[in-house]
A and B are shown apart, each in its own frame.
Chain A
Amino acid sequence: MHLPADSAHKGTPSQSTQSNIPSGSSDTLVLAEEATGDRMTTAGDRATARVAPTIDEATDKLPVVPAPSGGKTTVAGDRAMGEDRAIDEATDSLSPVAASSGKGGRASWVKWYEALKSILPIYIGIHLAFFVTSFLSVLFVLSDFSKQSMPIYTLWQSWHHWDTGNFLVVAVHGYTAPNQTAFFPLYPIFERGLMFITNNPFTAGLIISDVAGLVMLVVLYRLVEEDFDAERAYRTVLYLSVFPTAFFLAAAYNESLFICFALFSFYYMRHGNWWLAGLFGFLATLTRSSGLFLLVPFCYEYLRQHHFNLRTIRFDIISGLAMPAAIGAFALYCYFQFHDALASLHAQAYWHPRMHIPGEGMILSLRLITHSGGLLNFQAIHNLLDLVPDLLVLGLIMLSFVGPWKLPRNLWAYGLYAAALYLFFQLYPTTGIFPLLSVARYLLEVFPAFIILASLGKNRTIHMSYLMVSGATLFFLLAQFLIGRWVL
């Protein structure tokens, strides 16, 4: 665990902060001193909070510490969860100064590096396994003892299935038909951008996904480490990486890029850095429409950090509009291109024709399983593969509000985000024999569920069972995906 080392690192707060400050105006110096003072208070409060029986109570009891010129209010209970948080925020409130000085980022860079080191084994392990699976999936294509050999490019071309192609067409030719607008633009734009180097949009897509996948895990680790603890952060990353559909994070799909941006946005929300949160929210929404739901944790977190006091709301709340703005920007583009601002919505309607009550999809799916004539049936198994992860995540979201693993009040942003996103996925089941089509893939985006699962994972039985069962499903589905079978 890095905590002791880190706190040792910041043993002399005032010194380190002052060294951050370039020899600028006296104005910045004042700001720095305020921040330091602010931090000292929080450190004191943190000690109090630790004594206090529960964090919720602590939040209620402890005084609000207003920082006169920064306009920043700090709630001590908030800090009780992540010990580094106070210091981090203090440096964040200095961000114009610290960022420009370049030296000030040192402590935080060390922590990013530590996070990277912690998750790298998982990332490498999983990617090694994906690589091995790409090799061996050939055994399912060739018949036993055949003399035939597949060309070596099969290794990466076997990742080229289903939606991958749709993104590639957009990347190469732009949006030429209205129904393509179901695929949001940022990922194809990135592919296009990288094509200048790789010449091949597909390779570009894989690179983007895998780099974003790495960054995503690092941010997730940092986020959970600060708000919970390092052990749980590690397990969260592990559990997300072996979720049955996690191979989509490495395929040329936009999931990993989206989750990466969403997590960054979330990270900066927790740090009260609203403009950056808005910026990343904007990018996330441009990647996938689900980014819009970042507005929910944004509002909650903003209000909570301003102590639900409407008078303390500042101008920076406007950054929350970034998420709808992204939708607006894309709608505007659609309007100019196809004279239909809602082209994207209409295109989605092709798969998800009408809104349902949440839960209807699950009931439909269950009915299809029972009516399929047996368990060993294509329809039954695929519906089970959709339904079981869906129910698992539902259970985890519920556990984030009730029960022994519930989130403290100050971390409700996680629960609210998960609930909002989950409900959205349930609202639009598809027609046909697979009502919950692709939902298992979308569930990757509901990252708070994995944090709750990580809390449950303290129990070795749950830990092992989840890892084995989920891992088995992951590699099975990957093998199916690689040989071009119909997967989600």
Chain B
Amino acid sequence: MDFPGKQKSSEVPRGGSPLAGAWGCPPDLPSSTKLDITQTDDIPASDTNVNEETAKIAAFRGNSTNPSGERTSTTETGNNRNQRIKSFWMPWYRASRTILPIYLAVHLAFFLITCFAVLFVLKDFSSQTLNIDNWLHSWSHWDANQYDYIALRGYEQWWKTVFFPLYPLLQRCLMIFTHDPLFAGLIISNVAGLGMLTVLYRLVEEDFDAERAYRAVLYLSVFPTAFFFAAAYTESLFLFLALLSFYNMRHGHWWFAGLLGLLATLTRQAGLFLLVPFYCEYLRQRGDFKDVWSSTGNGIERLLRSLLRFDFFAGALILVGMGIFVVYCYYRFHILFPFSRAEGLYWNRDLHDPSWGIIRTIQVIAHSPGFLSFSALRNMLDLGQDLFIFVLIVLSLLGPWRFRGAVWTYAVYGVTLYLCLQLYPVRDFSFPLQSFPRYMLEVFPAFIVLAGIDQHRRINLVYLVASASLLFLLLTQYVTGHWIT
């Protein structure tokens, strides 16, 4: 793998913007021009303060070479400060307004499906009426119950520590108002879901363009397992924190990124993998690669000096997140890493080589009673979604749509996460890739690749329709209490 971002960042003069290459534009291009392009692109109305925004982003990035830098340094009045706060929030507000149609539409569809699903429960022409409570409780299945239980009683058995603590903790806090852990969980998931889409939009908008950002959000929202974002699961909270952490990495706010990574790790184990993009991004932005490869040895010393600053240890916060929970578990159950032991004992997840799960699934399908049997269908669903993301991950490295230039961190994160998830398939001979489609939601770079692929409508539409049909069917299965993990 070559790192094109390497040369680019080395071209940037040390005193200037540390991030000039980070926006997917050549570093010699004045960044304000680039921002103008992205922001006038497709956003409706309120384009009046584009300039303000440019100024704000420049300020936000601590860039003093921009024309706006003068303004911030000369007039530091209260009025200006207000304006800066306002212009800090403005892009977020606009991003959330842009993605709101998707969010609302998907939630409206979820609501309707929840109502209609009653038709699968009731017999045709029955006059029975289900209680309206049924509506809420049709969302409480499988893992949602586990989180509810933890929120109510804490960790009573050691094997429950596979459900990481931040989400039930928040549920517990919100229960002061709602009294019902499920309701609290649904609120958290859905609010985090909105936040998640907004951050994703901002991230892709800044690094790529607005149209691609919109599509990435749409594609993530209609992935067949996307209803877990609205269910009382940790997916949306985790992805929200991970994306926010990623966003701060891209902006070079290392401590924020570390802190959010800590929270993400407390939400799901997978947060640990944020370490990889953290240090890749750190290397890319901070590393001084000037004549590293020359024989003098001078370059390597300079590189190390450029890297070893206090910021460097912000990444350790991500490990601290894991550490906190490990210490808690040790005091509670006197077991080191109880969650990984529980994964092995109760969920039958073992370390295998990454392709094992896929090959095993194909074997299971081949040995199933027939194509239209429960085990074959479920395995095909798991396999299909897994391979789909796999193809996208491959495309993020090779081919015309790969992540080029300053954005290769996306590719690194996507590959790491995907591979590490693949390492732990389920051992028993029935559903080796069980729950994998849900985990695939976390591999957000894949959706950015997908959004980049289609310049035409073709793939766009076929994916949307096929994936949405799966989404609604799986949701129907979930709310009617079928086995969906």
Contact = CB atoms under 8 A, between A and B. Distances in A.
A138 B482 CA distance: 13
Contact of B483 (A145, A152, A155): A145
B473 A379 contact: no
Contacts of B104: 461, 464-465
A476 interface: yes
A246 to B, nearest CB: 11
Contact of B466 (A129, A142, A375, A378): A129
Interface in B253-306: none
Nearest to B483: A144
B93 interface: no
Nearest to A380: B129
Contacts of A130: 469
Contacts of A132: 466, 469-470, 473
Interface residues of A, number: 61
A121 interface: yes
Given A138-B372, A142-B374, A479-B476, A378 B109 contact: no
Interface stretch (B110-118, B188-196, B200-208, B436-444): B110-118
A89 B381 CA distance: 51
Interface string B462-474: 1111101110110
A237 to B, nearest CB: 11
Nearest to B368: A149
Given A144-B374, A376-B132, A485 B465 contact: no
Interface stretch (A163-171, A438-446, A466-474): A466-474
Contacts of B380: 135
Given A381-B118, A465-B108, A136 B473 contact: yes
A7 interface: no
Nearest to A385: B116
A152 B371 contact: yes
Contact of A467 (B105, B112, B375, B473): B105
B127 A379 contact: yes
B36 to A, nearest CB: 22
B119 A126 contact: no
Contacts of A467: 105
B457 interface: yes
B105 A469 contact: yes
Contact of A472 (B109, B123, B465): B109
B313 interface: no
Contact of A145 (B369, B374, B468): B374
Nearest to B464: A125
B376 interface: yes
A152 B466 CA distance: 21
A381 B119 contact: yes
A122 to B, nearest CB: 6
B345 interface: no
Interface string A111-141: 0000000000110111011101101111110
Contacts of B465: 122, 125-126, 128-129, 242, 471
Interface in B357-396: 368-378, 380-381
A128 B120 CA distance: 24
Contact of A136 (B119, B122, B470): B470
What class of interface size applies to chain B in its complex with A? 35 or more
A149 B376 contact: yes
A480 B118 CA distance: 11
Contacts of B470: 129, 132, 136
B120 A140 contact: yes
Contacts of B127: 373, 377-379
A382 to B, nearest CB: 8
B65 to A, nearest CB: 37
A152 to B, nearest CB: 6
A235 to B, nearest CB: 11
B477 A138 contact: no
Contacts of B128: 377-378
A147 interface: yes
B469 A133 contact: yes
A461 B462 contact: no
Given A139-B374, A145-B374, A378 B125 contact: yes
B458 interface: yes
A486 interface: yes
A136 B473 CA distance: 8
Nearest to B121: A376
A150 interface: yes
Nearest to A465: B105
Given A125-B461, A468-B105, A486-B125, A150 B372 contact: yes
A372 B462 contact: no
A152 B124 CA distance: 26
A456 to B, nearest CB: 13
B109 A485 contact: no
B372 A464 contact: no
A460 B115 CA distance: 25
A121 B109 CA distance: 23
Contacts of B129: 372-374, 376-377, 380
Contacts of B483: 144-145
Contact of B116 (A372, A460, A461, A473): A473
B80 interface: no
A54 interface: no
B377 A138 contact: yes
Best-surrounded residue of B112, B380, B458 (most CB of chain A within 10 A)? B112
A151 interface: yes
Given A468-B468, A471-B468, A475-B473, A376 B373 contact: no
A186 B115 CA distance: 39
B101 interface: yes
Contact of A142 (B110, B373, B476): B373
A145 B380 CA distance: 15
Nearest to A472: B109
Nearest 3 pairs between A and B by C-beta? A149-B370, A149-B373, A125-B465
Given A125-B466, A238-B461, 4 more contacts: A154-B372, A374-B129, A461-B100, A472-B112
Interface of A: 121-122, 124-126, 128-130, 132-133, 135-140, 142-152, 154-155, 234, 238, 242, 372-382, 385, 460-461, 463-465, 467-469, 471-473, 475-476, 479-480, 485-486
15 contacts: A121-B460, A125-B462, A139-B374, A145-B375, A147-B373, A147-B375, A152-B372, A234-B457, A373-B129, A375-B115, A468-B108, A472-B468, A476-B112, A476-B116, A476-B472
